Structure 1
Amino acid sequence: MRHNPALRDGHQIRLIEGGQDYFEALVAALNQARSHVLLETYIFDLHGAAVRVAEALERAALRGVRVWLVVDGVGTPQLPEVWRVRFALAGVDWRIYAPLGALGLLIPSRWRRLHRKLCVVDGQTAFCGGINILDDWYDPHHGSLARPRLDFAVSAQGELVGHIQDSMSQLWWRLQGAKNARERKIPQALHSFITAGLPLPWKPPLPLPDGSPPPSRAALLLRDNVLHRTQIERAYRKAIGLARHEVVIANAYFLPGRRLRQALVHAARRGVRVRLLLQGRYEYFMQYHAARPVYGTLLAAGVEIYEYDASFLHAKVAVVDPDNERPWATVGSSNLDPLSLLLAREANVVVADRQFAQQLHRRLIQVIASQSTPVLAAFGQRLWHQRLRDRLAFGLMRMALFLTGHRY
């Protein structure tokens, strides 16, 4: 496998905000596919604008492109019957990662989910971010939204496309091998597991046209339960530890462990301006309430916390020192909470490029200024029943981690 998390030169990285622009870019790439398409997503909800992606996958398969789709068994327990038929007729191959089965999430090992949102087209272009295949104006649990959710992704060309493709290809063949083994097709299962180590074809990107932005240094960061258990968290801690001026983090489900909290506290105490843009609207009991007991420590150290309340926040991005000599930015699928950092398969792209970092920084500061509410020091004086719910959720999260054998 080609993957090396070291930053490398020669990438074209473009920031994408929101599902509408993401789907437009994704469909355009799928319409140009000639060889193969790999797509992974936690949620594939065939409602509204997301249908365009399914239709593009179908068209690609019908013209002979090899199309592999993987969805998560919690985020997408099943595809609608009409689309199962359409994909079968077109030749789209799809798999569900870790279906829940009868006992569902009562089995702790099933909390290990596929949470990455990745796509590779022809080994030339890749997409990575936090955006599911889900209409921005719709939520499966809350219905129509008054404003679109806030989320980001990137499109990429360059060496990391091969790294993303290798990771996706390995997962596909392991899923295929497990499927064959369950069906007692032992020779086919062995072939699939052997094939998992063989990369799909990857080609360097074509020369850039005149007037293109200068290439960026970038890398792929993964989190899984084998070789890359702490890669994303360590990258965050290192970037925060090296910060000299500013850290801005936007994260949907925020419950950092002790070492990451310490990194934020130490940065703020040495004079770095640290701003957190977090979920301000109630979505899930655990994620909403369990985060709040850590606010006090961060606020006391001088960390600024803002809650996004215009719609649902789904972003998982960060920027460090965008205007200085060592800019750092990341866009991906990983929340800064135990589900992402200890259990799920995640993928982030890191970019060390001033122009990219400044672009993401400007957008986050706009959102903080116009669409969020500051969390003040008086937060700790909230009503007793609010604090009780927070402590209950925090305790339940700690208990859940104990059941999985993790300390956080």
Structure 2
Amino acid sequence: MSGPSAAQGGAARGERGAGSRWVPGNDFDLLENGEEFFPRVFNAIRAAKREVWLETFILFEDKIGLQLHAAVLEAARRGVTVHMLVDGFGSPDLSDRFVGELVEAGVHFRIFDPGRQLFGQRLNVLRRMHRKIVVVDGERAFIGGINYSADHVADFGPEAKQDYSVEVRGPLVAQMHAFVQDAVVPLKQRRRLRQWKQNKAAADTPHAGPAQALFVTRDNHNHTNDIERHYRIALRSARKRVVIANAYFFPGYRFVRELRRAAQRGVDVRLILQGQPDMPIVKTAAGLLYDHLLRAGVRIYEYCDRPLHGKVALVDDEWSTVGSSNLDPLSLSLNLEANVIIRDAGFNRRLYERLAHLMEHSCKQVEPEPKGRWEGLRLVRSYCVFHLMRWFPTWAGWLPRHEPEISLVDEAALATEASQRPSGAQ
């Protein structure tokens, strides 16, 4: 189916981007893997009274996609206003029937940058809409790294992904609600009023828990490095421990520098990375950094049970983050991403317990390579990789850039596309 038409000291140092204001009174529930995430989201959609907003990078027409389809159809047919936004590259193969039933039921189904193909290959593979957000009735929200596909549940087999999301209640939901509404409005129309609307809505929402939080996004206009910047603020403030679990790890020079500095001043810095990667190049790229990090005292664990897809981290006893952003050039310099940053001791403790269990039962710790005849070669390799990373935000900016199109699918467009398809094509 193709488209038709930060840490506590950060604010004091002035390192706040637009929208990066701590919002008190929130409650976060950590959801691990599809077994915890999908039932909670589908039930929330079924219970919706007024509206549902859903953004996702991947929506597949498999058993999970069909369950989402059924929940959305049921909500739309009883009068709930439903808005769905999927990425044209990440969700390229939805059938006309799948989408048509949603549109016929009244769902506002949009495609981010629907891609044209050349010789069967999509050309617009950069600057994807990689966010995974759901907002229901402006009262509860979900955000994390889990897509709508069967490979996020254990019965998929050895390739099932290990991942995380959170359910959010409280004033931060109002900011997320305003954001997903604005996301489908042309850029020129949304810039001035967005922050005023988000802050006013958050102030009017009742408190639901003890957590302070930030909703932080990355785009290619005004917030090009907000997520990475909040990571670096937290790393600079770390005094006790840092645990980062991230699927695709190849951050820039400044990020690696803060990791090394934290470890060198005695912070227990641990990385959980892919040991059974879904793409072999992922492990190869991260492995280029191992020697440089291990020499500074960073501990590296490779998760070996199945592919790791999570994007979570914690610092000391309060700071945590969950979201869609990997720590690689695509997420940090090209894709559209969204994370929540949470300041709450209870949530931090729960996340740490989950990650500690992974490290103890499902990971292999990487040991430094002993000194030997290849010592000089390793040092040269580490030096070259490290300084290459210093410039990746710059060279990423040179890559093809265009203003993405968001296309609203309607019944007339579906009929036109079907009439243009060769006879017998599906």
> TM-score if structure 2 supplies the norm length?
0.78
Q: Which residue of 1 aligns with 2:174?
A: 162
Q: Distance in 2 between matches of 1:219 and 1:105?
A: 38
Give the SS at the match of 2:184: helix
Q: Distance in 2 between matches of 1:362 and 1:47?
A: 32
Summarize the alignment of residues 110-189 of structure 1 with structure 2, pairs less than 5 Å apart: 110-136=125-151, 144-146=156-158, 148-174=160-186
Retained in 2: the 8 A contact 1:296–1:380?
Answer: no
> How much does 1:380 deviate?
9.1
Q: Which residue of 1 aligns with 2:355?
A: 364
Q: Which structure 1 residue ranges, 5 or more long, are not aligned?
A: 176-189, 209-213
Structure-2 change in CA distance of 1:256 and 1:173 (3 Å): same
**Superposed CA RMSD:** 3.3
CA displacement, residues 126-154 of structure 1 (integer Å, 9 cap, x when unaligned): 11101111124579xxx942374211111
Give the SS at the match of 1:149: coil
Output the amino acid matched with 1:273: D
Q: Which residue of 1 aligns with 2:258?
A: 263
Q: Distance in 1 between matches of 2:105 and 2:167?
A: 26
Output the amino acid matched with 2:357: Q
CA displacement, residues 357-388 of structure 1 (integer Å, 9 cap, x when unaligned): 000001001001100111111289899xxx9x
Q: Which residue of 2 aligns with 1:74?
A: 89
Structure-2 change in CA distance of 1:365 and 1:206 (3 Å): same
Q: Which residue of 2 aligns with 1:231?
A: 226
Give the SS at the match of 1:79: coil
Instruction: Identify which of 276, 299, 311 aligns with 2:294.
Output: 299
Retained in 1: the 8 A contact 2:333–2:397?
Answer: no
220-229 vs 158-167, which moves further: 158-167
Q: Distance in 1 between matches of 2:279 and 2:160?
A: 18
Summarize the alignment of residues 94-109 of structure 1 with structure 2, pairs less than 5 Å apart: 94-103=109-118
CA displacement, residues 242-286 of structure 1 (integer Å, 9 cap, x when unaligned): 000100000000001000000000000000000000011132244
Retained in 2: the 8 A contact 1:105–1:111?
Answer: no
Summarize the alignment of residues 212-291 of structure 1 with structure 2, pairs less than 5 Å apart: 214-291=209-286
Give the SS at the match of 1:82: helix
Instruction: Identify which of 68, 73, 90 aligns with 2:105.
Output: 90
Q: Which residue of 2 aligns with 1:51?
A: 66
CA displacement, residues 150-172 of structure 1 (integer Å, 9 cap, x when unaligned): 11111111221121122211121
Retained in 2: the 8 A contact 1:306–1:375?
Answer: yes
Retained in 2: the 8 A contact 1:173–1:196?
Answer: no
Q: Distance in 1 between matches of 2:30 and 2:153?
A: 22
> How much does 1:313 deviate?
0.4
Retained in 1: the 8 A contact 2:84–2:110?
Answer: yes
Retained in 1: the 8 A contact 2:164–2:312?
Answer: yes
**Structure in which a larger fraction of residues adopt helix:** 1
Q: Distance in 2 between matches of 1:39 and 1:33?
A: 13
Q: Distance in 2 between matches of 1:236 and 1:224?
A: 16
74-83 vs 9-18, which moves further: 74-83
Q: Distance in 2 between matches of 1:253 and 1:5?
A: 25
Structure-2 change in CA distance of 1:403 and 1:329 (3 Å): closer
Q: Which structure 2 residue ranges, 5 or more long, are not aligned?
A: 1-17, 400-426
> TM-score if structure 1 supplies the norm length?
0.82
> How much does 1:89 deviate?
2.0
Q: Which residue of 2 aligns with 1:405?
A: 398
Identical counterparts, % of pairs = 38
Retained in 2: the 8 A contact 1:98–1:110?
Answer: no
Q: Distance in 1 between matches of 2:275 and 2:121?
A: 26
Retained in 2: the 8 A contact 1:23–1:50?
Answer: no
> How much does 1:5 deviate?
1.4
Structure-2 change in CA distance of 1:381 and 1:290 (3 Å): farther
Output the amino acid matched with 2:395: F
Give the SS at the match of 1:314: coil
> How much does 1:78 deviate?
3.6
Retained in 1: the 8 A contact 2:313–2:321?
Answer: yes
Aligned residues: 369
Give the SS at the match of 2:45: helix
Give the SS at the match of 1:88: helix
Q: Distance in 2 between matches of 1:83 and 1:382?
A: 59
Instruction: Identify which of 368, 376, 379 aligns with 2:367.
Output: 376
Q: Which residue of 2 aligns with 1:211?
A: none
Q: Which residue of 2 aligns with 1:331?
A: 322
Structure-2 change in CA distance of 1:6 and 1:206 (3 Å): closer
> How much does 1:122 deviate?
1.0
Structure-2 change in CA distance of 1:163 and 1:379 (3 Å): farther
